[in-house]
């Protein structure tokens, strides 16, 4: 038997991961907190923050740290591409094939090994387009 406190933490973490994976977009910790607390009314923002940090350190979720913007979290850890809205900062996945040969090309221009890449597109999201 696990101690009760530990079981509660595990349950909280499970719900955080579930809710994150259900979302089409990639929320900030604050946005995810608003969603998670509907299922866990007692949870605090700092608990959500802490769990998100632990989960991303464990590689269960992905933390996206971009200069000048709030961290966002992603329930998909496999490589994939993103598009960010220049108006509202929303971040979505783009389900397109990975350009695997980009790594190959980059390797020809540097002496690094194990080369991978991250690619982020930008544009105006459908919601912002409607609003304008």
Which residues bind to Zn ion, rule: CB under 5 A?
A: 74, 76, 85, 87-88, 90, 93, 125, 128
- Separation CA 105–CA 101 (nearest Å): 6
Pair of tokens at residue 81: 């591409």
Write down how long the chain is.
132
> Please, which residue, 46 or 79, has the CB nearer to Zn ion?
79
Q: How near is the Cβ of 47 to Zn ion at its closest, in Å?
A: 24
> Please, which residue, 19 or 93, has the CB nearer to Zn ion?
93
Q: How near is the Cβ of 99 to Zn ion at its closest, in Å?
A: 16
Angle at which helix 4-22 crosses helix 45-57, to 10 degrees, equals 80
> Please, which residue, 101 or 132, has the CB nearer to Zn ion?
132
Q: How near is the Cβ of 85 to Zn ion at its closest, in Å?
A: 3
> Please, which residue, 57 or 94, has the CB nearer to Zn ion?
94
- Separation CA 132–CA 126 (nearest Å): 10
Question: Are 71 and 5 a contacting pair, CB within 8 Å?
Answer: no
Q: How near is the Cβ of 114 to Zn ion at its closest, in Å?
A: 21
Strand locations in the chain (E): 62-64, 72-74, 81-85, 91-94, 120-123
């Amino acid at each position: 038997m696990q101690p009760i406190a530990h079981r509660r933490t595990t349950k909280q973490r499970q719900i955080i991961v579930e809710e994150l994976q259900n979302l089409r977009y990639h929320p900030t910790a604050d946005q995810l907190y608003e969603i998670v607390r509907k299922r866990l009314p007692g949870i605090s923002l700092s608990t959500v923050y802490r769990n998100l940090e632990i989960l991303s350190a464990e590689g269960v979720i992905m933390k996206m740290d971009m200069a000048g913007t709030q961290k966002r979290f992603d329930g998909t850890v496999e490589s994939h591409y993103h598009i960010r809205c220049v108006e509202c900062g929303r971040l979505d996945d783009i389900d397109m094939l990975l350009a695997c040969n980009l790594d190959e090309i980059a390797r020809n221009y540097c002496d690094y090994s194990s080369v991978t890449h991250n690619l982020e597109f930008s544009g105006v999201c459908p919601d912002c387009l409607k609003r304008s």
